[in-house]
């Protein structure tokens, strides 16, 4: 729940209203280069350009000739230094500054810029006219490619791809479609670059022709990253901060409510949260943490007892704060391991959000050995290093379900690895909509249900825990929460990837299939990928049939039926009753999972690890593991295990699975474990061989309808590699 504080201004503007009667930059009047920095002028205006890496350019411009750094170290913690080993020359109509991978052209009349590849012939981007400004803002205009697509801008509610669109980069407190509460002054282009404007000023990016990007400040400080989308995301997050590594319980679902003296629910107390926690266990629904207050007058009592009680139900204690953290040490000692911040933390320059997130994260880490786990609804560039972004106070509707899908996938294109919204919204209630929303959000890394603020169709207050609507909803919700729990080894490994590369788990199809022209269009707006392997096409209307499911190039396997599809193709008429989330798995996927029946990271059977394998060609996956809770992983206390699969041919042939040794160590690492293998193949094996020994016929099973082999290995030392051969069972057909 969010109440917008009076001190925060809702900044929004459209068109070019902030650039009346602009000043054109004019002609170049000075150029010099020294120690890798090109300095130039156009009258009283001054500029600087430098390559800070072979494939990264920083461009600064000050119309008044005064370079300022209003963001300080808030966003870019450490300013990269110019490369001194660059070249410069006078090319007649322009001056050039070159690294080994790129050339910046600084045209003389009028002064404008173009960035080229090392051959100085292949354009990356080029201005269509020089910089323009007024007292209130400065704009850059770029030529647009015939098929060039644009992504980024942080969280843009309801959108993931921006060609021919305008996006605001500011803070609107509009939680619905078109809002931009967690926006970032960054975008990337399929022309092979990304651009970050190092500023706290609100901006407007118009991706028409020409592309016009402006900010409400009379200065330019921009970084340009060269490469494909994944590389650009990695370079951008290397500059502003890589996504944080969450605790493992952060990938379990969370629950939030105001318990103390809740006017909507009658007289209650903080310890009443324990009854709700017990109900999660009773209903066999995994839940990792609970917020027990709301920060808006609903405080807490008996906090240590509440924290201890939640731990007994395998959950962590969390607190919500509107605008301050005065008692962090005592609260963390009482068991607080999760924080949710609200909009009073956001102020001029948005640095309040960055400061508050770091303060909350540090408060947990300074007073415990745990990792800080922070949620917040408003932010700016750099927040990915600290928190989960939460898309605000929405009212449940089919539109609410619909517009969030591209929001979260699109956020990944700005290096935001954790972006989510309330399951079933915060206001309004409908069991069918709630269940559909929970289904697809169970395939995202972080989710939370907000209880205590909703009413049913008759206006009667209603809670929103996943069992309150009764059957069939309870059983369906349990199915997806348990699937989410089983997939934590897969999702946790993707979190480790995100912390290393900047690329989050939830991805638009365009990130993995950039050469497919369909993947940047609205035709796939209601789909997303989980890593490279799962394609999820949520149902976002009152229907049991899903049309328009686009599958890109490759072989795709229906997760539920095992039916295969050859992409690119569009599926219409897909049968999706209420208990079915349309979901497909890429042939070649290797998916680590916890054993069936796992309800908590604390009670999981660490002596068993399952792999769901979709054999096709050559593929692999590296599972990442650590203790899941402490910060020892940052000191290298972690382990990885790679599984390699080779499926010779399709149908007939052989599938060979090489399970590598687990390398590395951490507290609690199992010495040995068995492996449950579910292998999707093209035919029934003639024989199954584990480490050179054939298994007896009854030691493995084959599902002929789905063409799936299932087996469990004996316990094997985690320090030992071994091989499984399915002779006569080639890849998926």
User: Could you read off the pLDDT of 366-417 as tens digits, one per residue?
Assistant: 999 999 999 999 999 999 999 999 998 999 999 999 999 999 999 999 999 9
Q: Determine the pLDDT at residue 20.
A: 52
267: Cβ contacts below 8 Å, ≥ 6 apart: 261
Chain centre to alpha carbon of residue 402: 18
CATH code that applies to domain 23-226: 2.60.40.1760
Confidence band, pLDDT 50/70/90 cuts, at residue 263: low
Structure-token match 């051959």, residue found: 119
Of 682, 687, 683, the residue nearest 711 (C-alpha)? 687
Which residue, 598, 604, 667, 602, is CA-closest to 311?
A: 602
Predicted local distance difference test score (pLDDT) of residue 458 = 84
Query: 92-141 pLDDT, tens per residue?
Result: 999 999 999 999 999 999 999 999 999 999 999 999 999 999 988 999 99
Q: How many beta carbons lie within 10 A of that of residue 341, not counting itself?
A: 28
- Whether residue 1 has pLDDT greater than 70: no
Whole-Å CA distances, 490 to 51, 632, 681 = 38, 20, 21
d(CA 589, CA 515): 21
> In the structure encoding, which two tokens stand for residue 597, read together?
């029946």
Q: Report DSSP letters for 74-121, one per residue.
A: SSSSSPPPPPSS-EEEE-SSEEEEE-SSEEEEEETTTTEEEEEETTSS
Q: What is the mean pLDDT of the chain?
A: 94
Q: Helix 431-441 crosses helix 473-486 at what angle (to 10 degrees)?
A: 10
- The predicted-structure confidence for 340-374, as pLDDT tens digits, reads as follows 999 888 877 889 999 999 999 999 999 999 999 99
Residue 389's DSSP bridge partners are 376, 419
Cα angle 26-30-35, degrees, rounded to a multiple of 5: 130
Report d(CA 220, CA 211) in Å as an integer. 16
Q: How many angstroms separate the CA atoms of 16 and 205, rounded? A: 10
Q: What stretch of H or E contains 610?
A: strand 608-614
Q: What is the mean pLDDT of residues 531-547?
A: 98
d(CA 638, CA 88): 46
Give the Cα-Cα-Cα angle 345, 333, 369 (nearest 5 degrees). Answer: 90
Residues in Cβ contact with 695 at an 8 Å cutoff, skipping those fewer than 6 apart:
687, 688, 689, 711
Residues 193 and 197: their CA atoms lie apart, in Å, by: 13
Closest CA to 79 of 87, 89, 71: 71
pLDDT given for residue 4 in this prediction: 38
If you ran DSSP here, which 8-state letter would residue 493 be given? H
Give Cα 681 to chain centroid, integer Å. Answer: 31
The Cα-based distances of 192 to 102, 195, 310, 693 in angstroms read: 12, 11, 49, 51
Q: Can you say whether residue 15 is alpha, beta or left, with left for phi > 0 and alpha for psi between -120 and 50 degrees?
A: left
Residue 385: C-alpha distances to residues 179, 380, 411, 420, 603 (Å): 23, 11, 14, 16, 29
* Beta-bridge partners for 226: 193
Q: Beta-strand (E) ranges in 626-718?
A: 639-648, 654-659, 663-664, 672-680, 687-690, 693-694, 700-703, 708-712, 716-717
Looking at the chain, the whole-number percentage of residues with pLDDT higher than 70 is 97
Could you count the other beta carbons within 10 Å of the beta carbon of residue 684?
13
Largest CA distance in the chain: 85
Query: Which one, of 466, 430, 439, lies nearest residue 450 by Cα?
Result: 466
Looking at the DSSP bridge assignments, the partners of residue 169 are: 203
Q: What are 260-265's contacts with CB under 8 Å, separation 24+?
A: 260/293, 260/298, 260/299, 260/300, 260/301, 261/298, 262/298, 262/452, 264/452, 264/453, 264/461, 265/452, 265/461, 265/463
Confidence of residue 469 (pLDDT cuts 50, 70, 90): very high
Dig out the tokens for 658 from the structure: 């090489």
Nearest partner of 530 among 490, 578, 489, judged by Cα: 490
3-class secondary-structure state, position 489? helix
Non-local CB neighbours of 282 within 8 Å, separated by 6+ positions: none
Which CATH superfamily groups domain 605-727?
Golgi alpha-mannosidase II (2.60.40.1180)
| End-to-end Cα spacing for the chain | 50
Task: Please write the tens of the pLDDT for every residue from 54-68.
Answer: 999 999 999 999 999
Which tokens hold the place of 406? 């591209």
> In the Cβ-directed half-sphere of 122, how many Cα atoms lie within 13 Å?
9
Query: Are 182 and 411 a contacting pair, CB within 8 Å?
Result: yes
Provide mean pLDDT across the span 585-609: 97
| Tens digit of each residue's pLDDT (9 = 90 or more) over 620-656 | 999 999 999 999 999 999 999 999 999 988 888 999 9
Exposed, middle or buried by CB within 10 Å (0-12, 13-18, 19+), for 39?
middle
pLDDT of residue 3: 41
- Residue 5: pLDDT band by 50, 70, 90 thresholds? very low
CATH of 506-586, one of 2.60.120.260, 3.40.720.10, 1.20.1440.120, 2.60.40.1180: 2.60.40.1180
Nearest to 464 by CA among 427, 421, 417: 427
Indicate whether 237 pLDDT > 50: yes
Dist. CA 273–CA 685, nearest whole Å: 52
Residue among 560, 618, 623 at smallest CA distance from 588: 618
Class of domain 248-501: alpha beta
Distance CA 20, CA 16 (A): 7
Residue with the two structure tokens 């609200």: 342
The whole-number pLDDT of residue 456 equals 82
Instruction: Answer for the pair 111, 25: CB distance below 8 angstroms, yes or no.
Output: yes
Cis omega (within 30 of 0) on the bond before 110?
A: yes
> Same CATH fold, 605-727 and 248-501?
no
pLDDT in tens, 489-516: 999 999 999 999 999 999 999 999 999 9
* Cβ atoms of 578 and 544 closer than 8 Å: yes
pLDDT at 265 over 80: no
229 compared with 22, residue with greater pLDDT: 229
DSSP letter at 682 equals S
Percent with pLDDT over 90 in the chain: 90
pLDDT at 720 over 80: yes
CA trace torsion 33, 38, 40, 46 (10° rounding): -130
What is the C-alpha to C-alpha distance for residues 630 and 645, in angstroms, rounded to an integer?
33
- The token pair at 373 is 């786990």
3-state class of 630 per DSSP? strand
Euclidean distance between CA atoms 55 and 225, whole angstroms: 6
pLDDT-derived band at 17, boundaries 50, 70, 90: very low
CA-nearest of 265, 328, 323 to 296 is 323
**What residue segments make up the domains of the chain, in order of their start?**
23-226, 248-501, 506-586, 605-727
Buried b or exposed e, range 593-617, using 16+ CB within 10 angstroms: bbbeebbbbbebeeebbbbbbbbbe
Pull the structure tokens for residue 692: 């050179």
Q: What share of the chain is helix, strand, coil (3-state, %, to 5)?
A: 20, 35, 45
């Amino acid at each position: 729940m969010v109440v917008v504080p009076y001190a925060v201004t809702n900044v929004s503007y459209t068109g070019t209203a902030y650039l009346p009667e602009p000043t054109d930059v004019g002609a170049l009047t000075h150029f010099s280069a020294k120690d890798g920095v090109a300095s130039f002028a156009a009258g009283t205006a001054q500029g600087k350009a430098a390559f800070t890496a072979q494939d990264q350019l920083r461009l600064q411009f000050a119309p008044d000739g005064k370079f300022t750094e209003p963001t300080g170290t808030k966003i870019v913690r450490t300013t990269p230094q110019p490369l001194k080993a660059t070249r410069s020359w006078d090319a007649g109509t322009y001056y050039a500054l070159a690294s080994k991978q790129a050339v910046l052209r600084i045209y003389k009349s009028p002064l404008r810029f173009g960035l080229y590849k090392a051959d100085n012939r292949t354009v990356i981007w080029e201005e269509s006219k020089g910089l323009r400004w007024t007292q209130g803002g400065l704009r850059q205009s770029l030529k647009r490619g015939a098929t060039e697509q644009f992504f980024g801008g942080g969280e843009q509610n309801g959108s993931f791809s921006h060609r021919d669109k305008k996006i605001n980069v500011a803070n609107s407190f509009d939680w619905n479609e078109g809002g931009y509460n967690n926006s970032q002054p960054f975008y990337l282009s399929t022309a092979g670059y990304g651009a970050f404007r190092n500023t706290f000023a609100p901006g407007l990016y118009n991706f028409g022709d020409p592309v016009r990007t402006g900010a409400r400040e009379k200065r330019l400080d921009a970084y340009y990253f060269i490469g494909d989308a994944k590389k650009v995301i990695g370079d951008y997050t290397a500059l502003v901060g890589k996504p944080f590594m969450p605790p493992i319980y952060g990938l379990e679902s969370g629950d939030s409510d105001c318990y103390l003296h809740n006017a909507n629910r009658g007289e209650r107390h903080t310890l009443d949260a324990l009854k709700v926690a017990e109900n999660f266990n009773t209903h066999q629904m995994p839940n990792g943490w609970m917020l027990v207050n709301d920060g808006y007058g609903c405080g807490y009592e008996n906090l240590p007892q509440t924290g201890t009680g939640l731990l007994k139900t395998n959950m962590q204690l969390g607190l919500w704060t509107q605008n301050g953290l005065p008692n962090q040490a005592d609260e963390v000692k009482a068991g607080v391991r999760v924080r949710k911040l609200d909009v009073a933390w956001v102020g001029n320059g948005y640095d309040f959000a960055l400061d508050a997130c770091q303060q909350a994260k540090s408060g947990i880490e300074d007073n415990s050995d745990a990792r800080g786990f922070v949620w917040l609804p408003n932010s700016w560039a750099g927040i990915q290093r600290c928190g989960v972004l939460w898309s605000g106070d929405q009212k449940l509707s089919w539109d609410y379900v619909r517009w969030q899908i591209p929001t979260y996938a699109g956020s990944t294109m700005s290096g935001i690895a954790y972006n989510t919204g309330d399951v079933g919204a915060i206001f309004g209630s409908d069991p069918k909509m709630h269940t559909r929303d929970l289904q697809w959000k169970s395939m995202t890394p972080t989710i939370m249900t907000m209880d205590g603020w909703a009413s049913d169709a008759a206006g009667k207050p209603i809670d929103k825990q996943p069992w309150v609507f009764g059957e069939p909803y309870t059983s369906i919700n349990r199915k997806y929460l348990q699937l989410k729990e089983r997939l934590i080894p897969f999702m946790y490994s993707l979190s480790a990837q995100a912390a290393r590369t900047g690329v989050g788990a939830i991805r638009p199809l365009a990130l993995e299939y950039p050469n497919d022209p369909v993947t940047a269009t609205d035709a796939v707006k209601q789909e997303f990928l989980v890593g490279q392997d799962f394609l999820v096409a949520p149902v976002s209307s009152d229907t049991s049939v899903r049309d328009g499911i686009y599958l890109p190039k490759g072989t795709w396997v229906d997760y539920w039926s095992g039916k295969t599809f050859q992409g690119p193709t569009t599926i219409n008429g897909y049968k999706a009753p209420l208990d079915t989330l349309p979901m497909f798995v890429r042939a070649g996927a290797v998916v680590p999972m916890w054993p069936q029946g796992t309800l908590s990271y604390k009670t999981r059977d660490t002596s068993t690890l399952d792999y769901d394998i979709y054999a096709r060609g050559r593929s692999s996956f590296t599972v990442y593991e650590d203790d899941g809770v402490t910060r020892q992983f940052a000191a290298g206390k972690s382990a990885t295990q790679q599984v390699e699969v080779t499926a010779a041919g399709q149908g007939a042939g052989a599938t060979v699975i090489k399970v590598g040794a687990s390398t590395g160590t951490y507290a609690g690492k199992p010495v040995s474990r068995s492996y449950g293998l579910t292998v999707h193949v093209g035919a029934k094996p003639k024989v199954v061989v584990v480490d050179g020994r054939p298994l007896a016929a009854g030691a493995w099973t084959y599902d002929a309808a789905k063409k799936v082999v299932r087996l469990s290995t004996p316990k094997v030392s985690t320090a030992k590699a071994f091989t499984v051969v399915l002779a006569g069972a080639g890849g998926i057909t």
